[in-house]
Structure 1
Amino acid sequence: MMHQDATEQFLNSLPEIKEGESFRFACHPAVQCFNACCGDLTLQLTPYDVLRLRRGLNLSSKDFIEGLAEVLVAPDTGFPALKLRMSEKMHHPCHFVRESGCSVYENRPGACRTYPVGRAAKMGENGQIVEQFFLVRESHCKGFKENKEWTIDEWFSDQGLEPYNESNDRWIQIMARQKQAGGSIDAKKATMVLMAVYQVDNFQRFVHDMQLFKRLDVDEARQKTILEDEEAALKFAMDWVELVIFGQCDNLARTEG
């Protein structure tokens, strides 16, 4: 996956698929090109991708980032981003691909799930996410010759994309707000963002050790869930990032005093 703006430009060059339209595609070991798309990738990882992969691999965020990712900085916002590191083997395959397929299939990134559909999501004038869908037909891919037929909704449901898109769209809203504000966040805030949304295990400890809830309006039930459940912690982390950077978040407020 490329930077968000570059990705959008690339997708806009592809044929668009409207909701309700269908396409044929299947990927399985009997397809001649099986695993051919799982290498030499520029695959940007969203915060939710990192959470699912790291948790599935039973790694700390520190070990995951040091061993499997590269930290980038978005030039237009200063926000940190993570890119999945490819193997140094010939043709630079993904670390997780095996002859039998993806070894982290249940927790594979959203971009892998979406393929061969491309999804462009951006903020509309009313503040809501606007979606466009495109079909990515790579010359090597034989999956389009299979007989299985899908609509966008059917494909996304089959690939388990709902939690990925929900979390990614929330992140898009925050980055779009920074673009609208103009300029880039400073290095200190970028480090804070990296910890909060890409290192949720560390963020949970930070919330507890810094007694963050004493300064924020968060009910006790949500506090407990945030400290025990990483997905809830990621949602809270995004709210906290928005509050810290912009001074206001509809989902979160500071307490008085």
Structure 2
Amino acid sequence: MSEHDASEDFLDSLPELEAGKTFAFSCHPGISCFNACCGDLNLMMTPYDVLRLRTSLGMDSKKFVNTHLEISRTPETGFPMVRLRMLDNRKRSCPFVRDSGCSVYLNRPGACRTYPLGRASRLDDDGNVIEQFFIVKEPHCNGFKETKEWTSTEWLKDQGLEKYNEVNDRYMRLMTKVRRMGRALDDRQLNMAFLALFQIDNFKNFIKDMNVFSRLDVSEAEQNAIYEDDEKCLDFALNWIELVVTGECENLSPKK
């Protein structure tokens, strides 16, 4: 069974939170289980997660990857599979958790923001994103004893997930497109995808050194924005990988 299928099976085993329905939850230092969920995690990291965390820590890509990430590849698509490395202690603690809470809270990964919900997304036949939410109710968690009620929409907004889900859904679209092509990325394409999507600072150097823009229909203003803004560079990287791997991209085309 693939990692993708295993994740879907896990979510399917949880109670679904239907649209408009509410759940009671709150997490704060006054709860006895505070920080208990921040360890022994199989925490998958998306390109946007890595961008936000690395930037907030002021680390270059090489140091961040070597210090905090475990890299493998998805069996179906060959894309990078990136996990946050837990500390080598009894609790397998998150490297960013402190007694006072999360030390990178403003830039914490999307999965941490979504909890205690699980979010599953897929494309329908028309290419629209369909999302489902599931309640992840772990035995140790006392947050569900709190009285504050949320819908899934209210929770996502409160946790600042709009940009995370927007970029993550773009990544999901790209992997779905490759999956439907019926072939996985080869080693060269895997290395390009990891560079472009998870090492934005090094990818900018690659763009310059390889004179990438000379072969693409990208305006000078767009080029400057890509060099100056990491999030715009990640947006370009997703388009560029789609073009390189699949041969076509609605948002990016070679010069004629």
Question: How far apart are 1:227 and its partner, in Å?
Answer: 0.5
Aligned to 1:170: 170
Question: How far apart are 1:206 and its partner, in Å?
Answer: 1.0
Question: How far apart are 1:212 and its partner, in Å?
Answer: 1.0
CA distance in 2, matches of 1:71, 1:197: 13
Aligned to 1:188: 188
Aligned to 2:73: 73
Aligned to 2:116: 116
CA distance in 2, matches of 1:48, 1:4: 19
Equivalent pairs counted in the alignment come to 255
Aligned to 2:98: 98
Aligned to 1:153: 153
CA distance in 2, matches of 1:19, 1:221: 41
Once structures 1 and 2 are overlaid, which stretch shifts more, 42-51 or 213-222? 213-222
Instruction: Confirm or deny that 1:107 pairs with 2:72.
Output: no
Aligned partners of 1:208 and 1:227 also within 8 Å: no
Instruction: Confirm or deny that 1:214 pairs with 2:214.
Output: yes
CA distance in 2, matches of 1:162, 1:250: 23
CA distance in 2, matches of 1:97, 1:54: 16
Once structures 1 and 2 are overlaid, which stretch shifts more, 13-22 or 98-107? 13-22
Unaligned stretches of 5+ residues in structure 2: none
Instruction: Confirm or deny that 1:16 pairs with 2:16.
Output: yes
Deviations 1:98-150 (A, max 9, x none): 00000000000000000001100011111111101111111110000001111
CA distance in 1, matches of 2:253, 2:3: 31
CA distance in 1, matches of 2:3, 2:60: 25
For the residue of structure 2 that corresponds to 1:45, the secondary structure is: coil
Question: How far apart are 1:20 and its partner, in Å?
Answer: 1.2
Question: How far apart are 1:3 and its partner, in Å?
Answer: 3.3
Q: Give percent identity, aligned residues only.
A: 53
Q: Structure 1-normalised TM-score?
A: 0.97
Question: How far apart are 1:183 and its partner, in Å?
Answer: 2.1
CA distance in 2, matches of 1:206, 1:167: 22
For the residue of structure 2 that corresponds to 1:118, the secondary structure is: strand
**What is the letter of the counterpart of residue 197 of structure 1?**
L
Question: How far apart are 1:26 and its partner, in Å?
Answer: 0.2
For the residue of structure 1 that corresponds to 2:131, the secondary structure is: strand
Structure 2 counterparts to residues 131-146 of structure 1, below 5 A: 131-146=131-146
Deviations 1:64-103 (A, max 9, x none): 1101101111011111121000001221100000000000
CA distance in 2, matches of 1:133, 1:79: 25
Structure 2 counterparts to residues 33-112 of structure 1, below 5 A: 33-112=33-112
Instruction: Confirm or deny that 1:5 pairs with 2:30.
Output: no
**What is the letter of the counterpart of residue 70 of structure 1?**
E
